[in-house]
Structure 1
Amino acid sequence: MPVLFANPLGFWALLGIPAVLLIHFLQRESRRLPVSTLFLLERIDRESVQGRTFDRLRQSLPLWLQLLGVLLLTWLLTEPRWTSARSVQRVVLVLDHSASMGAFQEELTAALRREIPPLTTLVGTTEYTLIESTLTGANLYRGTSFEDLIAALGDWTPAAGAHSAEEALRVGRSLAGAEGTLVFITDHPLTEVPFGAALLSVGSEVENVGFAGLRVLEEEGVATWRATLRNYAKSPQVRNWFLASDGRRTEARRIALAPGETRVLQGEFPDGGDKFQLVLEPDRFSRDDTLHVVRPVPKQLLVSRTGADHVEDLVAGLLTSLDHTAPSKDGETPDLVFATYNPLQPAPLPPVAVVFLNQEVVPKQFFNGPLVAANDPLVDDLNWQGLIARSTPSIPLAEGENVLLWQGERPLILLRDKGEREQLVFNFDVVSSNAPRLPAFVILVHRFLNRIRNAKVGLESLNTELRQPLRIAHDSTTAAPSLTLVTSQGRLTIAPDKTRYLRAPEEPGFFEVFQGNTPLLIASANFADTREADFTTATSFSEIGTLPAKITERRTVPDPAWQLWLMAFTAIALFCWHSQNRPTKSGWEKRRPERTEAEANVRRKIRWRVPPRRRGTEASHRGSSGERWHVPLRLTR
């Protein structure tokens, strides 16, 4: 198995080897022994008492034990660990799919090349997985090649708005496993990343100016537009902008914006044109530099009236408040009918209708009891507490009727939406009540007409946001053709039963929707998430630097005999300390020959007078083994 060292700094301990050799090269100072013999008088020559600084290296047991101890200490300090060539490391990268990441494509590639390879040097095989942070995000790459992973980033275009990446991180952790590495890559650092993910931020502050909103108004038959332009930077910015339509463009106009300033641009639609572009001088973040505008045109509703004479004024007043409606002509099938119902003379109701109770005789009694509205989108946030209605006979109720408003035990407003029926029934005399003067009554009728309009199959025009869900009425019969989404990038075919997944394009621009050859929608898609356009808090940050040590600990095995090496090093240290401090006889004392009787008789009791300059001098003597001692002389007679 390959071996690696978790602490390479431990190799500095090898400097102990030259230190030990240096100590053993140094010669110890000669030991002084007083001698009172006459045979040394001939060798009273002046010699150095210090000896040479370096002497020849003498082999000894302490020397080799000390060298072995240095090697053992180095081995322990470097923390050796063993890896297996068959080990597999899973690295899952979750990319923040928000649109702001599009400004840092180059920084993203550079950061991955810098941070990811150190995670893979400690294992035999690394499996990479690259996914997006959105719930419907694509799996961009899965394999073992880092270069292929980098190549997959070239086809990635972030386009989502601000969103939570928690679910994607949950999926990433399940793919990586408990021992794998999970990295979340973004441009705005987070305070905390769940599921044990490491954070890699590649953002930086960008001076961005872009369109932040659009509104189109119809005033006396003239369509006008209002576009909001915002400076997100902390410094003043100057930009040029112009309007382009049908291959033509206006002269560029210059606009200066203070830090954080928002300015509104407005104008009329070009003559004979229903769509155009507002183009801003491009900067690093280009998604909000172009605004695509179409003239909104809702689907036209054909309305018919078959009510009684005394409700005609009420219906006429409602129709004047309804936009994009027209009376149906002979031979045309109306989309909506304003009908009446007389409980005394019941008659079938049209399938799609707003029904008013027709009471010819005005009763004197009023309904009493509390007013209670149902939990339904048609009556949400509507206030009915001021309603005063007279007590009239009720329309026959079927089982399971959807009642929108009650007063006591009386259902006042019904919604019948079973099968092909779509009826809004007012089960009280509206004309004799104060309902026409209540805002809730008018708003309810408008909401019901919009519901009918949304269900009608027809052509409409509108402005949308990027990736906005599209609810398009279409032919849903078995033999109905598929829907086609046409953009500047290409075509997308959608089956009729899959239209609930239909969304506006991810890239700004104009688009159309067809079913077969029938146009259903003419629209534009624009970037509108101001949170993603603000780069004042974007910064670079990385938590990957601590991961290699954790991967080493998880994917490698430490030296199983490190306790044995530690005990051996301790034993060597104790032995060297004991042998260094043990009292022993010197070599001179061991090899000194015994004095003979003749030598003993030579000693005199007479003290020789030595000149002052020779007092304290030393004599040298070479022993039988070749060793030399320096001894101070004290001559006596």
Structure 2
Amino acid sequence: MNLILTNFHGFWALLGIPAVILIHFLQRRAKVETVSTLFLLKQTQRESTSGRRFDRLVNSVPLWLQILAVLLATWLLLQPRYVKAKSTQRIAIVLDSSASMRVFKDKLPETIQREIPRLQGNAANIEVWLMESDPSKAKIYQGNSTEDLLTALADWSPSAGATEPTNTLRVARSLVGSEGAVSYITDSPLANHAPYNSSTIAIGEPTDNCGFTGVTFESDGPNVIWKAIVRNYSSTEQTCTWKLETATGASSSREITLKAESLTTLQGAFPKDHTRCRLVLSADAFDLDDTLPMVVPSPKPLFVTSTLPKETVFLSDRMLASFPNLKPAPEFAAADLIVTSTETTPTTQHLMVFPQDKASSRPYLTGNIVATKHPLTEGLNWQTLLVRESYSIPHAADDEVLLWQGNRALIYLRTHPNSRKKALIFNFDISRSNGMKQPALAVLMLRYCELLQREKVAPETRLTETGEPLQITHHTGADAAPLVQNIITLAGESLEAREIPTSRNDLSAPEQPGFFILSQGDQALLTSATYFADTREADFSDCATEESPASSMASAVDHHTRDDHLWRIWVCMILAAVFGAWWFTKSGRKESLPETAR
């Protein structure tokens, strides 16, 4: 049975032993007795004639009894406790999920092996939870084996952005209870102490790193030009090499030198006859930003046609010329959006309605202009809009009015109850107003087109950041095919495919740089290249080593140990030792005197 000494102040009681010995070094002054003969002097105890001073140590029973009393008193003051055989300490270790932790992952096994015995304290057994600071991640390990924990840790690959650990620490504290231990392991010291009585261990150190931060594309005739930014996060000048890889080969490596904490731009033509390529930097401690996968972006097009009369057909022409990703429909049936002046019911296609009033000049409307709180009108100023009176298209109760002037609905949004197609209706003659000079009206029209684009189920190609939430429009319903996310290689070969139920709304890009295709049935909805672009996690200048222990709790000691049930015996032995020392001292004095002198 393990023994725990919980009161270190008891060690001061051991100073009583030197004190007892010092006292026994001192001798009493001899008493002068007048006797008639000297033969009795042979039986007297040799005593000092000069009084109390250091002399030889006399071995005696009182000496050893007094030392025994001091030792027993010390034992009681130490308050010994015995570890309960079935006691279990619950331990929750929370690992920082941020991508920067992958640089210091090799330090984790040693740190955890050193931390668990400290957190175990006086308990005989342990139950351990190993968790990530990202609350959306599943726990890494739960059990009572340190070896199994380290095995599970070997498969852990942190790749998230900066994560606030408070929520996970709260969950960890609820798992272990008030008497359990919670430890947070990160790479940078926290500005404030970790909440929920958690200890904190920072295992990082400043590390040099160069990496890609982003890429843009430009068209140059038949060519697509990429421009990639490389950043040096270090405080010293760094030299690295880069190359462009395709499915059929790679370019020769080129060397670049970056000054301390500087940026540089690389550019080149996207390889023809290839749909995928990637830029690769020479390897360093942080690998996530050393590769930059690329595909040529191709947004979902919105096909537009117009039935406007010649007087107002310029409205649709300006939209096609100014708004991105709008294309003229090859035929009327293929149009996603119809710009019209007569239809108001969006049955099979979306509408943008600009009614016309054939009447001559009418007076301007009066009354306050009030915009409804809506994503399409957020932040827009309509106070300079001048609208003339004209015939009004009545709005239904289900229509969303976006703009009022007095009691008149100037602009409203109508959604068909079955097809869910939309109609943006301008309830005034725009050609007899100053609407074409209003930036707010142009922004509203652009936002409406972008909304229709997002809601369109169609293929698109774009770049995504690692772990980025994905908003993908897809078919829903009982008969809809499941979504399939297929991670592919540079050559297009499948690495991993998984089905995603259509009911899920938490889609996200992979956490590692690379390529993937998100499809439904036979249709590829999203073709993407994923790259790491979190500059906060790529900067290791603030990393350091530090330990901040949690406050200890006496309740945990009481829970895992029991007090000394023999303390009454020790008290009795102390009293017996003190009485015995007094008894032997008294009797010794009497025996040392001659019988005639007693």
TM-score category (smaller protein): 0.7 to 0.9
8 Å contact from structure 1 (residues 6, 549) kept in 2: no
8 Å contact from structure 1 (residues 511, 522) kept in 2: yes
What is the identity, as a one-letter code, of the residue corresponding to 1:217? E
8 Å contact from structure 1 (residues 308, 358) kept in 2: no
Q: Which of residues 408, 411, 415 in structure 1 aligns to 2:409?
A: 411
Looking at structure 2, the residues matched to 242 and 324 of structure 1 have their Cα atoms a distance apart, in angstroms, of 32
8 Å contact from structure 1 (residues 239, 255) kept in 2: yes
Q: Which of residues 555, 560, 572 in structure 2 aligns to 1:555?
A: 560
Alpha-carbon shift at residue 362 of structure 1 (Å): 4.1
User: Relative to 1, partners in 2 of residues 1:585 and 1:151: Cα closer, same or farther, differing over 3 Å?
Assistant: closer
8 Å contact from structure 2 (residues 305, 332) kept in 1: no
Partner of 1:603: none
Alpha-carbon shift at residue 530 of structure 1 (Å): 1.2
Map 1:180-195; keep pairs closer than 5 Å: 180-190=180-190, 191-195=192-196
User: Relative to 1, partners in 2 of residues 1:405 and 1:218: Cα closer, same or farther, differing over 3 Å?
Assistant: farther
Looking at structure 2, the residues matched to 91 and 370 of structure 1 have their Cα atoms a distance apart, in angstroms, of 64
Q: Does 1:402 align with 2:391?
A: no
Which secondary structure state, in structure 1, belongs to the residue aligned with residue 387 of structure 2? coil
Partner of 1:228: 229
Alpha-carbon shift at residue 119 of structure 1 (Å): 2.6
Which secondary structure state, in structure 2, belongs to the residue aligned with residue 496 of structure 1? coil
What is the identity, as a one-letter code, of the residue corresponding to 2:279? L
Alpha-carbon shift at residue 564 of structure 1 (Å): 8.8
User: Relative to 1, partners in 2 of residues 1:561 and 1:330: Cα closer, same or farther, differing over 3 Å?
Assistant: same
Partner of 1:615: none
Alpha-carbon shift at residue 497 of structure 1 (Å): 2.0
Partner of 1:537: 542
Q: Does 1:471 align with 2:471?
A: yes
- 1:369-428 deviation line (CA, Å, top 9, x unaligned): 222222111121222222122111111211132011112222111111343221111111
Alpha-carbon shift at residue 352 of structure 1 (Å): 0.7
Please say which of residues 564-573 and 201-210 is displaced more in the overlay: 564-573
Alpha-carbon shift at residue 510 of structure 1 (Å): 0.9
Looking at structure 2, the residues matched to 15 and 423 of structure 1 have their Cα atoms a distance apart, in angstroms, of 94
Alpha-carbon shift at residue 148 of structure 1 (Å): 0.9
Please say which of residues 190-199 and 3-12 is displaced more in the overlay: 3-12
User: Relative to 1, partners in 2 of residues 1:545 and 1:165: Cα closer, same or farther, differing over 3 Å?
Assistant: closer
Looking at structure 1, the residues matched to 348 and 501 of structure 2 have their Cα atoms a distance apart, in angstroms, of 32
8 Å contact from structure 1 (residues 4, 82) kept in 2: yes
8 Å contact from structure 1 (residues 476, 496) kept in 2: yes
Map 1:295-374; keep pairs closer than 5 Å: 295-330=296-331, 332-341=333-342, 351-374=349-372
Partner of 1:246: 247
Partner of 1:216: 217
- 1:145-165 deviation line (CA, Å, top 9, x unaligned): 111111111111112111222
User: Relative to 1, partners in 2 of residues 1:6 and 1:479: Cα closer, same or farther, differing over 3 Å?
Assistant: same
Which secondary structure state, in structure 2, belongs to the residue aligned with residue 73 of structure 1? helix
8 Å contact from structure 1 (residues 69, 572) kept in 2: yes
Alpha-carbon shift at residue 552 of structure 1 (Å): 2.9
User: Relative to 1, partners in 2 of residues 1:125 and 1:593: Cα closer, same or farther, differing over 3 Å?
Assistant: closer
What is the identity, as a one-letter code, of the residue corresponding to 1:225? W
What is the identity, as a one-letter code, of the residue corresponding to 1:401? D
Partner of 1:179: 179
Partner of 2:94: 94
Which secondary structure state, in structure 2, belongs to the residue aligned with residue 463 of structure 1? strand
User: Relative to 1, partners in 2 of residues 1:299 and 1:585: Cα closer, same or farther, differing over 3 Å?
Assistant: closer
Alpha-carbon shift at residue 49 of structure 1 (Å): 9.0
Looking at structure 2, the residues matched to 336 and 39 of structure 1 have their Cα atoms a distance apart, in angstroms, of 138
Looking at structure 1, the residues matched to 470 and 103 of structure 2 have their Cα atoms a distance apart, in angstroms, of 28
Partner of 1:263: 264
Which secondary structure state, in structure 1, belongs to the residue aligned with residue 313 of structure 2? helix
Partner of 2:528: 523
Alpha-carbon shift at residue 112 of structure 1 (Å): 0.3
User: Relative to 1, partners in 2 of residues 1:225 and 1:153: Cα closer, same or farther, differing over 3 Å?
Assistant: same
Looking at structure 2, the residues matched to 524 and 434 of structure 1 have their Cα atoms a distance apart, in angstroms, of 44
8 Å contact from structure 1 (residues 119, 551) kept in 2: no
Which secondary structure state, in structure 2, belongs to the residue aligned with residue 311 of structure 1? coil
Map 1:123-138; keep pairs closer than 5 Å: 123-138=123-138
What is the identity, as a one-letter code, of the residue corresponding to 1:530? T
8 Å contact from structure 2 (residues 350, 423) kept in 1: yes
Alpha-carbon shift at residue 485 of structure 1 (Å): 0.5
8 Å contact from structure 1 (residues 200, 543) kept in 2: yes
RMSD between superposed Cα atoms in Å: 3.5
What is the identity, as a one-letter code, of the residue corresponding to 1:426? F
Partner of 2:60: 58
Partner of 2:461: 461
Looking at structure 1, the residues matched to 170 and 115 of structure 2 have their Cα atoms a distance apart, in angstroms, of 22
Partner of 2:516: 511
Partner of 1:107: 107
- 1:458-510 deviation line (CA, Å, top 9, x unaligned): 21100011111112222224222211101144111112222x12110011111
Which secondary structure state, in structure 2, belongs to the residue aligned with residue 485 of structure 1? strand
8 Å contact from structure 2 (residues 183, 198) kept in 1: yes
User: Relative to 1, partners in 2 of residues 1:214 and 1:553: Cα closer, same or farther, differing over 3 Å?
Assistant: farther
8 Å contact from structure 1 (residues 115, 545) kept in 2: no
In structure 1, list runs of 5 or more residues that go unmatched: 595-637
Work out the number of aligned pairs and report it: 581
8 Å contact from structure 1 (residues 339, 353) kept in 2: yes
Partner of 2:497: 491
Q: Give the fraction of aligned pairs with identical amino acids, expressed as a percent.
A: 36
Alpha-carbon shift at residue 562 of structure 1 (Å): 5.8
Please say which of residues 437-446 and 9-18 is displaced more in the overlay: 9-18
8 Å contact from structure 1 (residues 403, 413) kept in 2: yes
Map 1:155-170; keep pairs closer than 5 Å: 155-170=155-170
Looking at structure 1, the residues matched to 332 and 325 of structure 2 have their Cα atoms a distance apart, in angstroms, of 20
User: Relative to 1, partners in 2 of residues 1:417 and 1:576: Cα closer, same or farther, differing over 3 Å?
Assistant: farther
Which secondary structure state, in structure 1, belongs to the residue aligned with residue 503 of structure 2? helix
User: Relative to 1, partners in 2 of residues 1:75 and 1:368: Cα closer, same or farther, differing over 3 Å?
Assistant: same
Please say which of residues 560-569 and 414-423 is displaced more in the overlay: 560-569
Please say which of residues 559-568 and 467-476 is displaced more in the overlay: 559-568
What is the identity, as a one-letter code, of the residue corresponding to 1:472? I
Partner of 1:387: 385
Alpha-carbon shift at residue 318 of structure 1 (Å): 1.6
Looking at structure 2, the residues matched to 38 and 375 of structure 1 have their Cα atoms a distance apart, in angstroms, of 125
- 1:499-532 deviation line (CA, Å, top 9, x unaligned): x121100111111112122211110111111111
Partner of 1:614: none
Looking at structure 2, the residues matched to 445 and 182 of structure 1 have their Cα atoms a distance apart, in angstroms, of 54
User: Relative to 1, partners in 2 of residues 1:256 and 1:562: Cα closer, same or farther, differing over 3 Å?
Assistant: farther
User: Relative to 1, partners in 2 of residues 1:452 and 1:74: Cα closer, same or farther, differing over 3 Å?
Assistant: same
Which secondary structure state, in structure 1, belongs to the residue aligned with residue 445 of structure 2? helix
Q: TM-score normalised to the size of structure 2?
A: 0.87
